[in-house]
Structure 1
Amino acid sequence: MQITDGEKNYKNKVGKKPVFDKVANRLDDLTEYASKQIGNSEIAQLLGISRSSFYKLLSENEDFRDAYKKGLENRKYELERKLFERAEGFTTQEVKVEKDPAGNVIREVVTDKQILPDTTALIFTLKNIYPEKYKDKVEQINTVDINIRKIQELSDEELLKLVKNVDLPIDFEIE
C-alpha cells in the first residue's frame, strides 16, 4: 500500500503524536498556571508533559508561548495591584475562632482591621512610576569654562579667591 501526499499526516503515522496536541485544548489552563506562583516544572507536570517538552513548546510553538506570556502578564498585574494596595493602606477582615477545651467552635469573631500604608512600598512605587522625580541619585553637572591664558595671567591671590568661590571638593596647594 502506498501513501499519497494527501494522506501524509501524523494521524496515519505510527508513533507518538506531537506534544502540542496533548496541550492544545489546555492553553487556558496554561495561562492560569503561569499567572500563579507556580514553577515551570510544576506547570509542565500539571499539563501532563515533561519539563523538556514544556521548554520546547515555549521556544517553538507561538500559541503555547502566547498563552504562557499572557499568564505572566496577569501575574505582573496582580503584583502591581497588591503593591499599590500595600502602599495606600487597606482594610481587611480578621476572623478569631474561640473553641472550648474539646475543640468545638464556640463562636467566630469578625473584626475589621486597618492596615496602614507601607512607606517602603510607597517609596518603591513612586520611584518606579515617577523615576525622574523620585530617583535616589541626583546628577549634578558642572561646566567649567577655562581660558588657560587668562589663568596664567592671574596672581596666586586671585587664583586662591577663585578656588574658594567654587563649591567643589578640590585638593590644592600653593607653593
Structure 2
Amino acid sequence: MDLIKPEIGLIVWQTVVFVILVFLLAKFAWRPILGLIKDRESSINEALDSAEKARLEMKNLQASNDKLLKKAREERDAMLKEAREIKGKMIAEASTEAEQKANKILMNAQEAIVAEKHSALAQIKAQVASLSIEIAEKVVKKELDNKEDQMKLVDSMLDDVKLN
C-alpha cells in the first residue's frame, strides 16, 4: 500500500490555503451574494404581493361588472315592458279613435240619406200638387158636365205626365 501515503506538509499547506480561501470568501463574496439573494427574495415577495393585489382587484372589478350587467339587464327589461305597454295603449287609442270616426261617418251618411229622402218626398209632393192644380184648371176650363168625361180627361192627363 505504498500508493496512499499521507504527507503532513501537503495537508498543512492545503489546510492553510483552504482557511485563507474561506476567509476571503467570507469577507468579500458571502455578503454581496447574500445581499443579492435577499434583494431577489424581496423583489419576488413584492411581485407576489402585487399579483395578489391585482387578483383581488380583478375579482372586485368582475363583481362590479356583474352588478352593472345585472342592473343594465333590469333597466332594459323595464324599458321593453314600458314600450310594450305604450304600444298597447297606442293601439287601443287608435282603435277607439278609428271606431269613433267610423261611427261618426256612418251617422253622417244616415243623416244625409234621411235628408235626401225628405227632400225627394218634398219634391214629389210639390210635383203632385202642381199636377193636381193643372188638372183641376183644365177640368174647370172645360167644365164638363159629365163625370165620366172628367175621369177620362184626368186619366189621359195622368198618362201624358211623366214623373222624374
- Structure of larger gyration radius: 2
Question: TM-score higher than 0.5 here?
Answer: no
Scaled to the shorter chain, the TM-score interval is: under 0.3
Greater fraction helix: 2
Tell me: higher relative CO, structure 1 or 2? Use CA pairs within 8 A at least 6 residues apart: 1
TM-score (norm 1): 0.22
